[in-house]
Chain A
Amino acid sequence: MKYKSQKIAYWFFATCMLLLSLQIVYGFVMGFARMGFDVLHDWVPFNAARATHTNLLVVWLLTGFMGAAHYIIPDESDREIYSEKLAYIQLISLILVGVVSIIGFHLNFWEGRKFLEIPRPLDYLVVVNVLLFLFNIGMTVWKAKRYTTTSLVLYFGLFSAALLYLPGMIQFNSQTVDSYFRWWVVHLWVEGVWELIMGGILSFLLIKLTGVDREVIEKWLYVIVGLTFLSGILGTGHHYYYIGVPEYWKWVGGFFSMLEPLAFLAMAMFAISMYRKSGRNHPNTIALFWTIGSAVMSFVGAGFLGFAHTLPQVNLYTHGTLITAMHGHLAFWGAYAMIVFAILTYAMPLLTGRKLWNNPTGLFAFWASNIGMLGMTGAFAVAGIAQVYLERKLGLDFLTVQKEIQVHFLGLVLAAFVFTSGIVAFIINFVRFGAPTDEALGAEQASGDISLARRS
């Protein structure tokens, strides 16, 4: 690291790992419930497990993004963070909100709108919290010695994510309108501004890991985020086919959804071609694995599998079935979880000064978690297709169909064990690095960070 305040990132990353572990626990609770072992029903009914599982995902990813910002922004701005104290206050308040929400979910205290379950009173705290974060990072960018596209895109992404949280806090009486604006948050987050954040982190990592000229990488960053918004904004329409709004959303949503994979394809091609351009290899290969992997898997999960069920003709049958769960798992994993893992893997040696890259545990973490996640996606896919045929085509009763597809959840849970073994390996590595130290200042030079060597 170049600046002392980058150490803050470590505490965000540590929180991130903790929340991820908890998310996996709840995933297993649901997996077993679907297999028929619903033993925790009285304490953790399915809706509590589900709300906890998805909200933890959102919170740990946001924590990861915040950690990434605390690492990247000082580096890009060439200065210390505006206020270290504010950063720690913000992290602690974030954890508090998270803990209260999760406990609340188990006590029937929630808002009950998919992905936005955090109860209304706590929403205001979230807003204050995010404003604190944006102020701190914003002041750092504002007072920077230099403005880079990477830091601007990252900041703009974080800022819009905060702005788009607001439509989710308005109360509507009609389920149709409620649903309409709920997607303003959910869709425009994951298929819009989060991709800016992902693009920002990706381009920072590519600059560092491949040593390709900043100008080249940042130019393509603009093209990719441009494509994302061009397709993603009107692509929101693919959630509006069957909620009671005008018919034209089928055309608008269908057409722009078809373009959505393009942004992801561009991202994957961009990452691979930058890697091939680099000529020299960065010693931290595993960080490169996660970086390129994220670009590729986000194309498969978000781009390809998303496309597989967003056309209105297909969506009529797959809407509201396990097909959505299939797409959701690989999309979030590829696009957002992997990019957080990438920045973590890249930053940890530099924060702690320990050259613990390229060990077997790290390599195992990469392969096991990816293979496990692909297995889970496959299990969801088979179960989902069977569900669509039996329930929507043949008209069998819901519970009858669920019994028919129960066996696929054994596959899901087995794949989840493989996945979890990978995550455990990753966390073991994380713990091995230990806490960040000031002695690691300037560790980039020792790590053979190509771009830095070239810049000086």
Chain B
Amino acid sequence: MLTKFQAKLFFLVGTFLFSAVFLLLTYDSLKYVYSSSSSKTLSEEVIRGKELWEKNNCMGCHTILGEGAYYAPELTKVYERRGPEWIRVFLKDPQAMYPGERKMVKYDFSESQISDIIAFLKWNGELDLKGFPPKPEYKSSTQLVNAESAAVVQPEKFKQICTACHSVGGAGGNVGPALDSVGKKYDIAYLQNWLRDPQKIKPGTAMPKLPLSDNEIKDLSSYLSQLK
């Protein structure tokens, strides 16, 4: 078997050799990162967003690029998933968005700070992550109503906020119920009241009270009421 000298040699040569390879690959990886398109879009805004991300230890609950804690959602693709408007509304009052659910700390971010954070999340979402996070494999999508045949077109607000949780025509989130035939159940007046303050109509509901203007409520309810 090995002598002690040979064992020592194995340790020293192995360590030295693999450290050298590691440094070489590090050099190559940095070259790759700094010549990729993501380094050109790394703006001041993104950097400020990253500072806010770190200053508040967001990684203590969330993961980004799959790294962090596992108490709150993975945020790499949150920009794609929710869109900037939704994130903006959410960050202003996280607990209002998920009443009675797992809580996020309410930070007093200013408008520009929120923009910075959104820029940071957008930048990360656009990185080439070699297929991470994976697309769900067995997600079913059912086409109940042809939403495009609706007479009133989908309001912008609906695309920005509502689709994060609800789906229409198989597209959208699955947190809240699908809205394909919501018009059969409720009329415009009910929907307007509902959107103004869901908690008042159904205490304990997961539907948040959203910061919507009267006009937006009107548009949304007339759109929803025709989904039959």
Binding site for B on A (CB under 8 A): 30, 33-34, 38, 41, 45-48, 50-51, 105, 108, 110-114, 117, 149, 173-180, 215, 218-220, 222-223, 225-227, 229-230, 233-234, 236-237, 240-250, 252, 316-317, 319-322, 324-325, 387, 391-400, 402
Given contacts A149-B4, A391-B136, 19 further A-B contacts (CB under 8 A): A41-B103, A47-B57, A48-B60, A112-B56, A114-B59, A178-B50, A180-B30, A180-B33, A219-B2, A222-B4, A223-B7, A226-B11, A226-B15, A230-B15, A243-B66, A244-B38, A246-B29, A395-B136, A398-B73
In the assembled complex, how far is the CB of residue B131 from the closest CB belonging to chain A, in whole angstroms?
A: 6
Verify A219–B3 contact, CB threshold 8 A: yes
Verify B4–A215 contact, CB threshold 8 A: yes
Contact partners of A322 in chain B: CB under 8 A:
70
Quick one: closest B residue to A237, CB to CB?
B25
Q: When chains A and B are docked, how far (Å) is the Cα of A393 from the Cα of B140? A: 11
Q: When chains A and B are docked, how far (Å) is the Cα of A85 from the Cα of B19? A: 37
Q: When chains A and B are docked, how far (Å) is the Cα of A179 from the Cα of B32? A: 15
Contact partners of B151 in chain A: CB under 8 A:
none
- Residue B111, interface by CB 8 Å: no
Verify B132–A174 contact, CB threshold 8 A: no
Q: How many residues of B contact A (CB 8 A)?
A: 72
Contact partners of B19 in chain A: CB under 8 A:
229, 233
Q: When chains A and B are docked, how far (Å) is the Cα of A110 from the Cα of B130? A: 31
Verify B71–A34 contact, CB threshold 8 A: yes
Identify whether the interface residues of A are mostly helix, strand, loop, or mixed.
helix
Tell whether A112 pairs with B57 under 8 Å between CB atoms, given A175-B64, A234-B18: yes
Of B7, B101, B135, most A-chain CB atoms within 10 Å? B7
In the assembled complex, how far is the CB of residue A185 from the closest CB belonging to chain B, in whole angstroms?
A: 13
Contact partners of B25 in chain A: CB under 8 A:
234, 237, 248-249, 252
Tell whether A50 pairs with B4 under 8 Å between CB atoms, given A242-B129, A397-B174: no
- Residue B53, interface by CB 8 Å: yes
Verify B65–A247 contact, CB threshold 8 A: no
Verify A244–B50 contact, CB threshold 8 A: no
Verify B58–A47 contact, CB threshold 8 A: yes
Contact partners of A397 in chain B: CB under 8 A:
173-175
Contact partners of B47 in chain A: CB under 8 A:
173
Q: When chains A and B are docked, how far (Å) is the Cα of A234 from the Cα of B26? A: 10
Contact partners of A247 in chain B: CB under 8 A:
130
Contact partners of B50 in chain A: CB under 8 A:
173, 175, 178
- Residue B199, interface by CB 8 Å: no
Contact partners of A321 in chain B: CB under 8 A:
70
User: Which residue from A244, A394, A398 sits with its C-beta under 8 Å from B65?
Assistant: A244
- Residue B22, interface by CB 8 Å: yes
Tell whether A399 pairs with B175 under 8 Å between CB atoms, given A117-B57, A226-B14, A234-B21: yes
Verify B124–A175 contact, CB threshold 8 A: yes
Contact partners of B98 in chain A: CB under 8 A:
399
- Residue B69, interface by CB 8 Å: yes
Contact partners of A117 in chain B: CB under 8 A:
57, 60
Verify B132–A229 contact, CB threshold 8 A: no
Quick one: closest A residue to B38, CB to CB?
A244
Q: When chains A and B are docked, how far (Å) is the Cα of A112 from the Cα of B25? A: 27
Verify B69–A393 contact, CB threshold 8 A: no
Verify A174–B57 contact, CB threshold 8 A: no
Q: Which 7 A-B pairs have the closest CB atoms?
A: A47-B60, A395-B136, A320-B66, A242-B132, A112-B54, A226-B11, A222-B7
- Residue B55, interface by CB 8 Å: yes
